[in-house]
Amino acid sequence: MMQVALVMGSISDWPQVQATANLLTDLHVSFDKHVISAHRMPKELQHFGETAKSEQYQVIIAAAGGAAHLPGMLAANTTLPVIGIPVQSKALNGMDSLLSIVQMPSGVPVATVAIGSAGAKNAALLAAEIIALHDSDVDHQLQSFRENQTKEAIKSNEQLQ
């Protein structure tokens, strides 16, 4: 059973989404990867969204650029939590992606993270926090991550002294 479905609108999104995959691995969160274009694969997108819960996923992370309909359309087809990653695009530097994902109508929520690498990593952390509600191993991994993050910040402060 995979805990997270990591979905991209295009394989070209993978360089940004790889940070999400790496952090999910570090946190012991199982996932698999899919390319499903909201505009070029509408039937596949609908089927994936409708069957994601029966496939035992707990969270969907969806990365999309440009018009960025993927996260919202997945959310429209499932009651699983959907986390949207706005992919940094060339045309408008990712602002188009961000606004397309974050401006969901009432009743179809998508948790939206920042554009770029910080957002990709935060999507993994948010998914892990949701899963950790019922998975003590993932909860332990998150606690360790936070402790290490604090140690690194303290260490960097000491380097300034």
Numbered residues of the known binding site: 10, 13, 40
Residue of 88, 80, 101 lying closest to 38 (CA atoms): 101
* Residue ranges of the binding site for substrate: 10, 13, 40
Do 102 and 112 form a contact (C-beta atoms < 8 A)?
A: yes
Q: Name beta bridge partners: 7.
A: 34, 62
* C-alpha neighbours within 13 Å on the C-beta side of residue 43: 0
In the block, which residue shows the tokens 């706005």?
86
- For residues 42 and 3, what is the distance between their CA atoms, to the nearest angstrom? 24
